[in-house]
Amino acid sequence: MKRLNSQLQHDGAPLELVLLIRTLLAACKEISFRVSQGALAGVLGSTLSENVQGETQKKLDVISNQILKDILSESGYVKAISSEEEESVVPCSPNGNYLVSFDPLDGSSNTEINSLIGTIFSIAHAPQWMEADDPSAFLQPGTQMVAAGYVLYGPSTMLAMTTGRGTHLYTLDKTHGGFLLTHPNVKIPVQTSEFSINTSNQRHWQEPIQSYVSELLAGSEGPREKDYNMRWVAAMVGDVHRVLCRGGIFMYPFDKRNPQMPGKLRLLYEANPMAFLVEQAGGLASTGSGRIMDVMPEEIHQRVPVIIGSKEEVENCVARFK
C-alpha cells in the first residue's frame, strides 16, 4: 500500500504543502489517541464555557483545538488559522505561505456515546500582502482551496483528502504511525437510495426540502417509485464518509427559525472542505441556490445550507428551488 507522502507526490503536491499536511496530521494522530482514551483520561464531558458559536464546549473540543493550534503555529508553514472554537483568526508565522481552517472536533456531542467524530480542515494560499491577523485573508471562495479533508476517529482512524487530483481514503496504521492509502480515487455512485437529514427539524424547512423529503419517505408507493433508507450520525464527518464510501445525499438545509442564520454548517471549515472532497469523487455540493465552492465568504464563521452527495439525487433536490 502507498504511504501518504507517495500519493501526495504522485498528485503533484508541492513539498511545502506535503510538509504542512504531515504536520497537521501529526496533530490529528495526537487527537486520535486522546479520543481513544476517553473516560480513562478524564477528557469526556462539557466545560463551563461557550465558544463563539454559542455552543457549549466539550473538553475534547478545547483539547483538540489547542493541539492543532500549537502544532500549526509552530510549523512555520502557516500564516494564520481560523477555527470553529476561535472568535477571530489566530496569527501564526508572518512568512507562512498557507491559511488553515478547521473544525477541531466535529460531532463532539458523540463523545459521550463513543460514536463517530472527526477533524475537518481546508488549506488555501495566504495572500502575502495581508497581515497575519487580518481575517479578510480567509475570505476566499472554496475554489481557491489547495487541499481539504477530514480525519474520522472511528473503529479505525481514517483520512479522506484531496489536493484537486481525486479523493483518496487512507487508514492510520498504528503499528508504524503512518497513513496508508486504502481506497484510491473513490467515486460516489451517481444514483442512491439513502438520504441523511435531521427530520426533527422538518417543520422548519423551506417548501422545496419539505417536498423532496416527503417524496423520499413515500418510497415505492410515491412518485420516486423506490424505497429509501435514512441514516443520521449527527456528525458531518460520519455522514459524508458514508456518502463517499457508498453514495447517498446529506442535507443540512436552511430553516425558518432564524432568517439571519442561513444554515447550521460553517462555510470555511465544514461546507467547503466537504464540497471539495465530494466533487473530486464525482458528486455534487450545493446550497440549493448555487455551488458551495463558488460562495464568496463575508466573514470567517459564515454559515450556509448544505446539500451534497450523489449527482442525480442532488440535482433532483436542487431542481425544486428553481
Q: What is the C-alpha separation between 168 and 291, in angstroms, rounded? A: 22
How many CB atoms sit inside 10 A of residue 156's CB?
12
103 is in an annotated binding site: yes
59 is in an annotated binding site: no
Per-residue pLDDT at 274: 98
Q: What is the C-alpha separation between 87 and 49, in angstroms, rounded? A: 13
Q: Which residue has the higher pLDDT, 317 or 111?
A: 317
139 is in an annotated binding site: no
Is the pLDDT at 53 greater than 90? The verdict is no
Residue 28, H or E segment = helix 15-37
Domains (range + CATH), the chain: 4-183 (3.30.540.10), 194-321 (3.40.190.80)
107 is in an annotated binding site: yes
Q: What is the C-alpha separation between 267 and 282, in angstroms, rounded? A: 20
109 is in an annotated binding site: yes
DSSP 174-187: TTTTEEEEEETT--
105 is in an annotated binding site: yes
Q: What is the C-alpha separation between 85 and 271, in angstroms, rounded? A: 16
Q: Quote the cell numbers at residue 297.
A: 465568504
Is the pLDDT at 52 greater than 80? The verdict is no
Closest among 250, 314, 240, 322 to 284, alpha carbons compared: 314
Q: What is the C-alpha separation between 68 and 24, in angstroms, rounded? A: 7
Per-residue pLDDT at 54: 58
Q: What is the C-alpha separation between 273 and 76, in angstroms, rounded? A: 23
Question: Which neighbouring-strand residues pair with 81?
Answer: 90, 100
5 is in an annotated binding site: no
Per-residue pLDDT at 124: 98
Per-residue pLDDT at 172: 97
| 27-47 confidence digits (pLDDT tens) | 999 999 999 988 887 777 676
Q: Quote the cell numbers at residue 115.
A: 460514536
Is the pLDDT at 92 greater than 70? The verdict is yes
Per-residue pLDDT at 154: 94
106 is in an annotated binding site: yes
Is the pLDDT at 259 greater than 80? The verdict is no
Is the pLDDT at 48 greater than 60? The verdict is no
| 159-186 confidence digits (pLDDT tens) | 999 999 999 999 999 888 999 999 999 9
Q: Quote the cell numbers at residue 320.
A: 425544486
The SS3 assignment for 298 reads coil
Mean pLDDT of the chain: 94
